[in-house]
Amino acid sequence: MAPGTKISTDPSGKSVDVRTYRGMIGSLMYLTSSRPDIMFLTCLCPRYQVAPKESHLAAVKRIFRYLKGTADLGLWYPKDTGFQLTAYSDADHVGCMLDRKSTSGHIQFLGDKLVSWASKKQLCVSTSTAEAEYVAAASCCSQVLWMRT
């Protein structure tokens, strides 16, 4: 997705077939297990599957065009690597213009293998960038603690 592009409810847009839209979203959700680069936008599109509009369908089709052009990308898991657990987290402040909530994400590596990642809208409205980052770090730490046990 181009930086700065926002997807909204688009109440005045033309409706599209719900079954087709949901089927396309399901296919993309299946692909996210090996293509984390499409995770954010793929998880953003299902928010509008109750009443999808042409603008939402265009965003989904854009993901498919991206996948067609980058078919050689994906996750590869070599067998001879270490077992050091490394984690990263990040957040944006007020990423969703509809309800002013932030989006946070985190990834965990075991050696140089990506084993877990997540990106989701935060449950609370953050009043600062630092607070949004703290919520993201707390979520990442809980995932790391679960993995260590």
Q: Delimit the domains of the chain by residue range.
A: 18-69, 85-148
- Confidence (pLDDT) at 54: 92
Report residue 25's pLDDT band, with 50, 70 and 90 as the boundaries. Answer: very high
For the chain, where are the alpha helices, taking DSSP H only? 18-31, 39-44, 54-69, 129-148
Cβ atoms of residues 83 and 98 within 8 Å: no
Question: Which amino acid type is present at position 39?
Answer: M
SS3 65: helix
Residue of 123, 128, 71 lying closest to 99 (CA atoms) = 123
Q: What's the pTM value of the predicted model, to 2 decimals?
A: 0.59
| Overall average pLDDT of the 1-5 stretch | 64
- Confidence (pLDDT) at 9: 82
Query: Residues 6 or more apart from 130 whose CB is under 8 A from it?
Result: none
